[in-house]
Structures are given as C-alpha cells and as structure tokens.
Amino acid sequence: MELNTKNIGWSVPEMAQKVAKDIQDGAYVNLGIGIPEMIADFIPEGREVIYHTENGLLGMGKVAEGGKEDPELVNAGKKYITAIPGAAYFHHADSFAMIRGGHIDICVLGAYQVSEEGDLANWSTGNPNDIPAVGGAMDLVAGVKTIYVITKHLTKTGVSKIVEECTYPLTGKNVVDRVYTNLAILDVKDKKLWVRELAPGVDAEYLKQNTDAKLNWA
Amino acid sequence: MINKIVKSATEAISSVFDGATVMISGFGEAGSPVELIHALVDQGAKDLTIVSNNAGSGHVGLAALIENRQVKKIICSFPRTQISVVFPELYQAGEIELELVPQGTLAERIRAAGAGIPAFYTPATVNTPLEEGKEVRVFNGRKFVMEEAIQADFALVKCLSSDKYGNLLYNKTARNFGPIMCMAAKATIVQAKQVVELGSINPELVVTPGIFVDRVIEVTNPADESKLVANNVKYHGIKY
C-alpha cells in the first residue's frame, strides 16, 4: 500500500525534539543506539541531563571527532565518544545495578513493535537465519523507571508498528510508558493506549487508519 | 615473596587446558586483551567455552581464536558486530554453540561467581523467549527469573596498570567486564600497559585488589584491534 505521508507528521529530528522536551532537568538518562542518540542534541537550554551508557560511563559527552577518538572510550553502540567533566567510569555489574536497581530515570529505545499494553519487541524479528543478539535491552526495560520508545509509526512497507499484540519476540512485557512516532505521541496507561498529541496534518481518523491497535482519547 | 609479574604471554597462558571455561574481558575492542588471546591461539588449547560480551571482529583477537577452531561454545550478549565474520559463519554451519545472555544478566552471573553466590533472581527476560526453561519466582508481587553464576577456569583481562601484587587500574570504558571477570576465575591472567612499583597506585583508587589476580604481563604497546580489523590482518598463530 502506498501511503501519502510525505507532508504529514513529524520528521525524525522533530520526534527527537519532542522526547527531549519531556526529559526533566537533573535526569539520569540512557539513550538507545540509533535514533534515540539524536535526542541529546535537543535538550532545552538550562536543563542538565546526565547520560548513562551501559558499557560503563555516567556523564557521556558528544561523539569524539577530529583525531580525539580513543578506542578505549566508547558508548554502547561502540562509537568513539567523550566524557564530560564530572563523569564516572565503572564496571559492568555496577552499570547494570544502576539499571536494574531503578537508579536510571529514563531510557529511550527504538522498536520493531509496541503493543497497546506496552509490550516491546526490539531485539529480534524471530527470523531463524539471523544470529540472535540481545545486548542490554532486556535489562533496561526491566529496570529503568520510565521507558520511552521513539519509532516511525509504520514500517517501510507501511505496516503499523503499534499493534494489539506483538508478533515478534518480546524484549519485555508491560514496560513501555510512552511512544513518540512521526504521527503521534501515545501514552500507555492501565494497559491501554492514550493519544497524547497528534502531529501536524494528522487527525484522529488518519491515526486510527494507520494504527493496528485500539486508541483511547482522554 | 609475592610477585605476579611473569615475563611473557606464553608463560602466562601456558596452563590453559582443553575444555576450560575462559572469560575474556572487553566490550568490542575496548578492553579486549588481544595479546593474551593471540598467545592462547599459539598455545592451542581447544574445546574452550568462552565467556565474553561479543564474539570478535575481523580475523584477530577473539575472532582468531574462534577461527582456529579452539572454541566449542560462547556465552555472550551480542555476538554480532558490523565486522564479525568468523562467528556468524561457524554458527550458521552449526559448528559453534551459543548461549545468549542479556548483558546485565551476563555481568551479574560473572559477579555472582566471584562473590560466592551460586544463583540470583533478575527481572530481565521475564515473559520473553529467553526465560524459557528457567525457574520463575514471585517476590513482592513481581516475577523474577533465576540465573546461575558463571564460574571460569581462567580469565584473560586487559588493564592500564598493575603492581607486582596484581592491584589493577583500568582505562576509561575499557574497564567494562575486567574487574568482575578477575573475581570469577580460578586463575586470572592480566595484560597491563604498565607495571608500576608497589605503592605507586593510590590504595583508595585501586579498582581490582590484587587478591583477584594471579599472573600479569606487561604489554606496553597493545594492538589497536580496530586498526588490525580495518587492515584485514589475520592472526593464524606462530605455528603456521
């Protein structure tokens, strides 16, 4: 199905900006690999946010450039990064104690699917030919206080990623608190999806047509 | 007299036996003890079970050990990297076993072994395919999955500096699995960028106390794994 979404909805940077606005001053935040990393560029002036990268650093700075790349200073995506003044290094068990112990305030992740009850599938498409790999995603969704998902609303072939029930293997059940897509911001509350905000050019009918899950309106 | 410093990687690694469980520090290239791994390729112990976060890149380090058919099984959280070729090929051919463990569970299973805890409960993997076959218990109304400690025969760890007692300091995010792997192995073998005098490491700042370390070699200029991979270097061991 060919969808006319060209002039409708938010761009990816606009989605990242929407997430950034919801990150409070003083928050300890873990950003997933890929689109979530972009969020750091949009934190509003005057807010101080500390970034955790699960391979062992609190106080992750910007990506390292211009010959300052250090192979022993990387983020969870194995990109060369920098550390801010006031940063702390620690080993993996401590890092995941921060996660599992509920010390990290917000984690933002990508998704293959999110269900209306807040189930997340983002580690495997279930294809038996793929090499399975999970990383820290299951620990993050089980331990971090608030889980935000940032994702395109539809797959490249136009299928809704917001679903009644995930068909891909789960990363966690009832773990997602809010979803930021290019079409809308959706809250998961009491195992139901609530429309929080519509993107420009998107109305209730359009969102409904493009969502394979029941939507609720406050 | 206590002196854990040994002269060569060959000597440090000599006691690794066929069928041993070997932990290898590192998160990708950061903290990966390439020189010790290459010494293990030279030494040739086989049927190894490797515990490491990843499964190697290119044809050096852990990938070389796998390519040399010394690894029977790997316990890791993320066996894929952009440039991992050796593990995927053997895995798809059914020639290497994989136990996939979430990263935090992997770290805690290692830490637990070092701390004398045989098993623990974690919320990670509840209601996912990775909880299958594991005991689930409810604490305070929430489900948790039981995970068992991973004890190793050997740990190969990279660090920044060591004194002759084996007190260790690490470098930035290369610390990752080092400190907990040192605790979890019967014999911990470390490569340090520098060996320093006793007393020159501030006791307040020691990351791994020497009690967890058995042998240390100095590797002043450790290989930069990503450069080896980028240059398509293949390590086949000295016997070739």
Q: A124 contacts in B (CB within 8 Å)?
A: 129
The string of pLDDT tens digits covering residues A15-34 is: 999 999 999 999 999 999 99
d(CA B86, CA B60): 10
The string of pLDDT tens digits covering residues A46-67 is: 999 999 999 999 999 999 998 9
Confidence of residue A3 (pLDDT cuts 50, 70, 90): low
Q: A73 contacts in B (CB within 8 Å)?
A: 30, 172-173
Q: What is the mean pLDDT of residues A36-42?
A: 95
Q: How many distinct helices (H) and strands (E) make up chain B?
A: 7, 11
Interchain contact A170–B (C-beta under 8 A): yes
Q: What percent of chain A has pLDDT over 70?
A: 97
The string of pLDDT tens digits covering residues B123-173 is: 999 999 999 999 999 999 999 999 999 999 999 999 999 999 999 999 999
B66: Cβ contacts below 8 Å, ≥ 6 apart: B50, B55, B56, B74, B86, B87, B90, B96
Interchain contact A143–B (C-beta under 8 A): yes
CA distance B126 to chain A (A): 7
Query: Of A57, A78, A132, which is closest to B28 when you measure between CB atoms?
Result: A78
pLDDT of B236 > 90? The answer is: no
Domain A12-217 in this protein, CATH class: alpha beta
Cβ-defined contact of A53 to B224 (cutoff 8 Å): no
d(CA A125, CA A158): 17
Confidence of residue A218 (pLDDT cuts 50, 70, 90): confident
What ipTM was predicted for this assembly?
0.96
Q: B172 contacts in A (CB within 8 Å)?
A: 57, 70, 72-73, 83, 89
CA distance B1 to chain A (A): 30
pLDDT of A1 > 80? The answer is: no
Residue among A33, A131, A138, A125 at smallest CA distance from B84: A131
The helix/strand/coil state of B80 is coil
Cβ-defined contact of B27 to A72 (cutoff 8 Å): no
Report the mean per-residue pLDDT for chain A.
Answer: 95
Q: A90 contacts in B (CB within 8 Å)?
A: 175
Where are the strands (E) in chain B, listed by range?
A: 21-24, 48-51, 71-76, 97-100, 119-122, 136-139, 142-148, 152-162, 168-169, 185-195, 215-218
The string of pLDDT tens digits covering residues A100-159 is: 999 999 999 999 999 999 999 999 999 988 899 999 999 999 999 999 999 999 999 999
Q: What percent of chain B has pLDDT over 90?
A: 96
So where are chain A's domains? 12-217
The string of pLDDT tens digits covering residues B87-103 is: 999 999 999 999 999 99
List the catalytic residue out of A37, A54, A116, A117. A54
What is the reported pLDDT for B240? 42
Q: What is the mean pLDDT of residues B170-199?
A: 98
Cβ-defined contact of A71 to B226 (cutoff 8 Å): yes
- Dihedral of CA atoms A76, B154, B161, B34 in degrees, nearest 10, equals -60
Interchain contact A120–B (C-beta under 8 A): no
Q: What is the mean pLDDT of residues B227-235?
A: 93
Domain B9-116+151-228 in this protein, CATH class: alpha beta
What is the reported pLDDT for A6? 59
Residue among B69, B65, B35 at smallest CA distance from B52: B65
- Which parts of chain B fold into alpha helices (H)? 9-13, 34-43, 62-67, 86-92, 103-115, 178-184, 225-230
Cβ-defined contact of A170 to B128 (cutoff 8 Å): yes
- Asked if B191 and B40 touch (Cβ cutoff 8 Å), the reply is no
Query: Of A134, A169, A173, which is closest to B77 when you measure between CB atoms?
Result: A134
A197 given a catalytic annotation: no
So where are chain B's domains? 9-116+151-228
